[in-house]
Copies of this chain bind each other. A is one copy, B any other.
């Protein structure tokens, strides 16, 4: 067990911070609530970006960039929007040596300024749909910051689309929810439930919000991505209107959807253990570390290091150019060198000692299971690729099983209350619910904080509401959440 990491069973929150520090993922910044995303985490983010970006482009979206600063008056045009975001805004009051006539807010999200631009770009139905995404950072002042989960600035993507019909915009909202679920499963090895949010959990200004909800290893929920159907609310506020085929003028229908560096927090809390970070191979910046080991400097220089470099080159080529490195920390003991890669979440260690070199073998060690095997050095690239696939699948399977094992049906308000009593988080409760916004609040009170995470999209069962007793209620997932 790692001495620099508090066991998660002892103090989960401290474990999370220790894993981040040991893996050199992020530091607290000298700016309130902000973080520095260090190269090991930024490399994960680049792989996350690349997977989502490809999926966005395959579904017809292009990227663009809108200003960081938003005139304060724009925020005020949509009543619910400004009410939701006002407490979190950072405000620029001076620029270029002068006080500004109208302050700018640093974007907390870009519906308003993008809505303003769309109103200039859209005149006719031929100008629709607009399918644009933006990668950027946003600022929402946080009173209780936590690395990756809640920081005053975070990196994200925000998709913003405008359509001629309600049906098309609704279909887009669900299409992107599906894209999120698929990429989270295939690349991040997260097993999420996705579905509609309850009224109390909607985005300020949205007609409807959908989300992906993952279960962390402490059995709490984490909202991993959201997709909003904005109706005509922002189109009306910013006058995105168009002339239809029939000549009549109407407001456009818009959507927005986003995922953020929060996903790195989700990856950490889903896969990691008491030795430190565990990364799914598809998002790991270093997928395999080749470690030549000898106390004989001449042998290292003549035999082991050249062989390690050659192998790392072949591995990198098989990964598409990057992702394999040679460990040259010869001043450390072998155990410490291994531990360095374990703590950084590197999926595979490839050890090359003197005896292995003499036999033409390497020892390949899995981060997820610790399993070791001897592989002929020539066969290593193919075997490493296969093992990375197995690790990716294993992590997803484990995450899925954990979520299923810790999801329980409850059929009354009393059972729901019992489920969440006690200090340990028990997991997700599935219950039929058709109550009001006040009923949601009451459940939050009596359970010590459980909320409706979503109403699963692929669950068509209907039943008796645990609060009102009425029939035909949809299933909802209740959980305590980050």
Interface positions of A (Cβ within 8 A of B): 27, 29-32, 34-39, 42-43, 45-46, 57, 62-71, 74, 86-97, 103-104, 106, 113, 116-117, 120, 126, 132, 136-137, 139, 141-143, 152-153, 155, 285, 322, 331
**What are 15 A-B interface contacts by the 8 Å CB criterion?**
A27-B120, A29-B66, A30-B113, A30-B116, A31-B70, A36-B64, A39-B64, A42-B62, A62-B285, A65-B137, A68-B137, A89-B97, A90-B96, A93-B93, A136-B137
Contacts of A104 in B (CB 8 A): 31, 90
Please pick, from B31, B46, B90, the residue contacting A63 in the complex, using a CB distance under 8 A: B46
**Would you give the shortest CB distance from A270 to chain B, in whole angstroms?**
22
Q: From known contacts A94-B90, A96-B88, infer whether A39 and B132 are also in contact, taking CB-CB under 8 Å.
A: yes
* Cα distance A157–B196 in the bound complex, in angstroms: 39
The 10 residue pairs across chains A and B that have the minimum distance between CB atoms: A96-B141, A39-B62, A37-B65, A90-B95, A91-B94, A34-B67, A29-B67, A31-B67, A95-B141, A93-B93
**Would you give the shortest CB distance from A324 to chain B, in whole angstroms?**
13
Pair A64/B42 contact, Cβ less than 8 Å: yes
Pair A94/B93 contact, Cβ less than 8 Å: yes
Copies per assembly: 2
In the complex, besides A35-B67, A38-B64, A39-B63, 4 extra interface pairs with C-beta distance below 8 angstroms are: A39-B62, A46-B63, A90-B95, A96-B141
* Cα distance A354–B69 in the bound complex, in angstroms: 51
Pair A42/B63 contact, Cβ less than 8 Å: yes
- Which of A42, A46, A57, A113 is most buried by chain B, counting CB atoms within 10 A of its CB? A42
Pair B36/A66 contact, Cβ less than 8 Å: yes
Q: From known contacts A37-B64, A106-B68, infer whether A91 and B92 are also in contact, taking CB-CB under 8 Å.
A: yes
- Which of A32, A67, A120, A143 is most buried by chain B, counting CB atoms within 10 A of its CB? A67
User: What is the chain B residue whose CB lies nearest that of A116?
Assistant: B30
**Would you give the shortest CB distance from A265 to chain B, in whole angstroms?**
15
User: What is the chain B residue whose CB lies nearest that of A91?
Assistant: B94
Contacts of A152 in B (CB 8 A): 95
Contacts of A89 in B (CB 8 A): 95-97
Contacts of A70 in B (CB 8 A): 31
Pair B113/A71 contact, Cβ less than 8 Å: no
**Would you give the shortest CB distance from A107 to chain B, in whole angstroms?**
10
* Cα distance A132–B42 in the bound complex, in angstroms: 11
Pair B36/A71 contact, Cβ less than 8 Å: no
* Cα distance A136–B45 in the bound complex, in angstroms: 14
Pair A92/B95 contact, Cβ less than 8 Å: no
* Cα distance A46–B53 in the bound complex, in angstroms: 11
* Cα distance A81–B77 in the bound complex, in angstroms: 39
Contacts of A39 in B (CB 8 A): 62-64, 132
* Cα distance A143–B42 in the bound complex, in angstroms: 35
Contacts of A29 in B (CB 8 A): 66-67, 113, 117
User: What is the chain B residue whose CB lies nearest that of A90?
Assistant: B95
- Which of A45, A68, A117, A153 is most buried by chain B, counting CB atoms within 10 A of its CB? A68
Contacts of A120 in B (CB 8 A): 27
**Would you give the shortest CB distance from A290 to chain B, in whole angstroms?**
17
Contacts of A103 in B (CB 8 A): 94
Contacts of A126 in B (CB 8 A): 331
Contacts of A94 in B (CB 8 A): 90-91, 93, 103
- Which of A34, A66, A116, A153 is most buried by chain B, counting CB atoms within 10 A of its CB? A66
